[in-house]
Amino acid sequence: MAAEVKQTCYEGSSVQSFQFYLEHSGEHKAILHWVQKILPGEFKRIGAGKSSLDVLGVGSGGGELDVQMFSLLQSTFPAVPTSADIVEGSTELVDNFKALVAKTANLQKIPFVWHIMKSEEYEKQVKAKGDMKRFDFINMIQMLYYVDDLAETIKFYHSLLKNNGKLMIIIETGKAGWDTLWSAYKKELCVDAITEYRSSEDVVACLKKQGLKYEEHVIPNTFDITECFNPSSKTGERLLNFMTANDHFYQSFTPEIRAGILDLLRNKCSTEKNGKILFNSNLSCILVYA
């Protein structure tokens, strides 16, 4: 789901598991298709009349999506200087991000500041300094599962927006496959990096409570989990490991729990089409106004 883990964020085998999931799920492709359609217009509104633009990425992982968004921003405002701050707790993923920036020619002029820390640590640091840098655009893609206090996190990052700025949150859609799985097996799954599962419904509830103006868009996505139902399939096992945030799906759960999870995945989280079982991994993009 997201590109950071609560204790140490994604390092080593966790990075490999995450990359494996991305290759099989098409998640980044679905998000990219959507941002390429919607963000140019948003950027025009955000940057209108501004002499410089400041962007903050929170939990940006390996930067695959951020790099594309920076390229879009630059093509929208080629003559406007842009700065980038990136908050990401995984050293390994930050190194991946830096390597991507280094080979993307049109990003060479953007000064990047790297904050290799969890979101909460960045918040504490900013508050301690008392000198808040403000931003025109903040993106938080697939990372709100890992923060301790959802409402406070949203409140803090919203407070960093400049006039006419936007906070973009991308998270799993309520009542879709991930939400169904993690809500049903909360006791078994919410034990490590994710102690409280969240979906778009939780984010929207927070925004309403704080009286913030927002708009929500669904990013449709499904991926093939047919292999998950073949106990001898390595692909299926690796997908199950990632989907349950577990290193060893078959060893870690009782036969009853495993059977229940597989039944839920097949009958409540997915649809069958042309002999394939397609997991509903719809995402929500929530754009919050300054």
Is 22 within a domain? Answer: yes
Show the beta-strand stretches assigned E in the chain.
Answer: 53-58, 82-87, 112-115, 135-141, 161-172, 214-219, 222-224, 270-273, 276-280, 283-289
Is 114 within a domain? Answer: yes
Give the type of residue at 163.
N
pLDDT of residue 10: 58
Q: Indicate which CATH number applies to the domain containing 52.
A: 3.40.50.150
Q: Is 26 helix (H, G, I), strand (E, B) or coil?
A: coil
Is 148 within a domain? Answer: yes
pLDDT of residue 12: 56
Cβ-based burial of 274 (10 A; exposed 0-12, middle 13-18, buried ≥19): exposed
Is 265 within a domain? Answer: no
Is 179 within a domain? Answer: yes
Give the type of residue at 201.
E
Phi, psi of 45 (to 5 degrees): -70, -45
Could you tell me the end-to-end alpha-carbon distance of the chain, in angstroms, rounded to an integer?
Answer: 27
pLDDT of residue 11: 56
Is 165 within a domain? Answer: yes
- Judge contact between 182 and 152, C-beta under 8 A: no
Show the beta-strand stretches assigned E in 128-275.
Answer: 135-141, 161-172, 214-219, 222-224, 270-273
Q: What is the number of domains present in the chain?
A: 1
* Nearest alpha-carbon partner for 197 in 218, 214, 180: 180
* Nearest alpha-carbon partner for 17 in 166, 237, 203: 237
pLDDT of residue 246: 87
Is 102 within a domain? Answer: yes
pLDDT of residue 132: 85
Is 248 within a domain? Answer: no
Question: Residue 214's domain spans which residues?
Answer: 13-222+281-289
What averages of pLDDT result for each successive group of 10 residues across the chain (290 residues)? 42 75 94 94 95 97 95 94 96 94 92 95 92 94 93 97 97 97 93 86 98 97 97 96 92 96 98 97 97
pLDDT of residue 3: 39
